[in-house]
Structure 1
Amino acid sequence: MDSHDPAADAIAFIGGGNMARSLIGGLLCRGADPRRIRVAEPVAALREALAADFGVQVFEHGADAVQGAGLWLLAVKPQMMRVACEPLAAAAQSLRPLVVSIAAGIPVARLQEWLGGGLPVVRCMPNTPALLGAGVTGLFAGEGVDEAQRARAGELLSSAGATVWVDAEPLVDAVTAVSGSGPAYVFLLAEAMEAAAVAEGLPAEDARTLVVHTLLGAGRMLAEAGDPPAELRRKVTSPGGTTQAAIEAFQAGGFEALVARAVHAARERGAALAAATGP
Structure 2
Amino acid sequence: MKKTIGFIGSGNMGGAIIGGLVGSALVAPNQVIVSSQDNESLQALKEQHGIRIAADNRQVAVESDILFLAVKPNVYTVVIDEIKTSIKENVVIVTIAAGKSLSDIEERFGRKVKVVRAMPNTPALVGEGMTGICANELVNVAELTDVKNIFDSFGRSEMVSEYMMDAVTGVSGSSPALVFMFIESLADGAVRGGMPRQQAYKFAAQAVLGSAKMVLETGKHPGELKDMVCSPGGTTIEAVAELEKNGFRSAVISAVQTTIDKSIAMSKPKEN
1:112 aligns with 106
- Find the partner of 1:128 among 115, 122, 128: 122
Could you state the TM-score of these two structures normalised by the residue count of structure 1? 0.92
What letter matches 2:263 in structure 1? G
- Find the partner of 1:69 among 64, 69, 74: 64
Q: How far apart, in 1, do the equivalents of 2:229 and 2:8 lie?
A: 46
- Find the partner of 2:43 among 48, 61, 84: 48
Percentage identity across paired residues of the two chains: 34
What letter matches 1:89 in structure 2? K
**SS of equivalent residue, structure 2 residue 268:** helix
Shift of 1:98: 0.6
Q: How far apart, in 1, do the equivalents of 2:249 and 2:269 lie?
A: 30
**SS of equivalent residue, structure 2 residue 82:** helix
Tell me the alpha carbon deviations over residues 60-107 of structure 1, each in whole angstroms, 9 at most, x when there is no partner: 521022222111011111111111111111013x43301111111101
Tell me if structure 1 keeps the 8 A contact 2:12–2:125. Answer: no
1:233 aligns with 226
Unaligned runs of 5+ in 1: none
Deviates more, 1:258-267 or 1:147-156: 147-156
* Equivalences for residues 1-279 of structure 1 within 5 A: 5=1, 8-31=2-25, 32-92=27-87, 94-167=88-161, 169-276=162-269
**SS of equivalent residue, structure 1 residue 67:** helix
Relative distance call for 1:267 and 1:60 in structure 2 (3 A) is farther
RMSD across aligned positions (CA): 1.6
**SS of equivalent residue, structure 2 residue 71:** coil
Give the number of aligned pairs: 271
Shift of 1:133: 2.4
Shift of 1:269: 1.1
Tell me if structure 1 keeps the 8 A contact 2:20–2:154. Answer: yes
Tell me if structure 1 keeps the 8 A contact 2:6–2:33. Answer: yes
**SS of equivalent residue, structure 1 residue 201:** coil
Shift of 1:223: 1.6
Shift of 1:231: 0.4
**SS of equivalent residue, structure 1 residue 266:** helix
Shift of 1:277: 6.5
Deviates more, 1:52-61 or 1:256-265: 52-61
Relative distance call for 1:277 and 1:43 in structure 2 (3 A) is farther
Unaligned runs of 5+ in 2: none
Shift of 1:278: 8.2
Deviates more, 1:109-118 or 1:237-246: 109-118
**SS of equivalent residue, structure 1 residue 148:** helix
Could you state the TM-score of these two structures normalised by the residue count of structure 2? 0.95
Deviates more, 1:100-109 or 1:48-57: 48-57
Tell me the alpha carbon deviations over residues 140-170 of structure 1, each in whole angstroms, 9 at most, x when there is no partner: 1113222222222212222122111112x22
What letter matches 1:110 in structure 2? D
Shift of 1:243: 0.4
